[in-house]
Amino acid sequence: MDDWSKYEAVVAKRWQYYAPRFERFARGEWLSWNWAAFVATLAWLRYRKLYAWSWAYFFVSTPFLLAVSLMVVLGGDDCERALDPAPSSVAGLTVTVLALIFLQWVLPPLVADSLYFNHVRTLIGKTKRATGTGGYIGALALQALVLIGAAVIVPNSAMYGYRIMADESVSLAAGPKVHLQEYLNEHQRLPARIEEVTGEVSGKYVDRLVLESDGTIRAIFGDKARKLSGHSMSFIPEIKDGRIVDWVCRSNDLPDQCLPSRCRRH
């Protein structure tokens, strides 16, 4: 038989709130709803001295928040949406985000009171220490710094991810452009293969460069370029009087949303 006076001595503030819940938990129940744990889960865990659970929550919830941020941003990426406008991808993203929201905001307040009951039960007979604010304020500040950093870094890395991949093709084609001009000056014709002037050229996202008969350099994206894989960007020479006077950047199979601004059609 539990001595509820001992529980009251440990809980002190808000005992009237916890008393009926603790009685239910003593009978084997374990679910309830705690609004404080819903609004500020980490702060509530620290305030109630559930330190192990607070750090577990911190190291689990923060990646969840980052994952949600990343998926929302990727889901709004113009390039990816233009390449894969299928409703199924949107539905899959929605289900995943909702699952993460449940784990992040709904599950903790459902079990918070039960966790606190088990914690208080272990403290029965021990001297209750004064509750300070430094611990939970510090934990909240740390999580806030992580999430603020993510708010700056994640959107930028996600929103411009595909354009960074496309930019690699531009930089890889820069060298062969010079060598093709030199070859044209010397032989008065273009080589049959780009390897004759540069050797094999590839990058992290570009699988290879191909030289077409009119001198166009075509950069073909590999598997690491995700949805750009198999697509290509072309660098078309403008030849006058046996010299290449300019290059035009285009793509026949990628939408403008995926291309650097100088390569777009409009």
> What pLDDT shows up at residue 230?
92
Q: Which residues pair with 248 in a beta bridge?
A: 236
Q: Is the pLDDT of residue 73 over 80?
A: no
Query: Domain range for residue 76?
Result: 4-159
- Least confident interval from 5-14, 91-100, 153-162, 216-225: 153-162
- Which among 213, 209, 212, 230 is positioned nearest to 221, based on CA atoms? 230
Q: What is the dihedral of CA 126, 46, 16, 35, to 10 degrees?
A: -160
Q: Which residues of 52-72 are buried (b: 16+ CB within 10 A; e: fewer)?
A: ebbeebbeebbebbbebbebe
Residue 112 contacts residue 37 (beta carbons within 8 Å):
yes
**In a 10 Å sphere around its CB, with 0-12 CB exposed, 13-18 middle and 19+ buried, how is residue 149 labelled?**
exposed
| Same domain assignment for residues 203 and 124 | no
- Least confident interval from 54-58, 235-239, 243-247: 54-58
| Same domain assignment for residues 140 and 204 | no
| Same domain assignment for residues 128 and 169 | no
> What pLDDT shows up at residue 55?
80
Residues 190, 28: Cα–Cα separation, whole Å: 82
> What pLDDT shows up at residue 65?
65
Residue 169 contacts residue 71 (beta carbons within 8 Å):
no
Average pLDDT of every residue of the chain: 79
Residue 142: CA count within 13 A, CB half-sphere: 16
Tokens of 25: 């938990």
- Of 127, 159, 191, which residue sits at a domain end? 159
| Same domain assignment for residues 258 and 223 | yes
- Give the CATH number of the domain where residue 173 resides: 3.30.700.10
Please report the beta strands in the chain, taking only residues with DSSP state E, as ranges in sequence order.
206-211, 217-221, 232-240, 243-250
- 130 to 10, 12, 180: CA distances (angstroms): 10, 11, 77
Residue 219: pLDDT band with limits 50, 70, 90: very high
3-state secondary structure of 206: strand
| Other beta carbons less than 10 A from residue 31's beta carbon | 11
* Percentage of the residues of the chain whose pLDDT score is greater than 70: 73
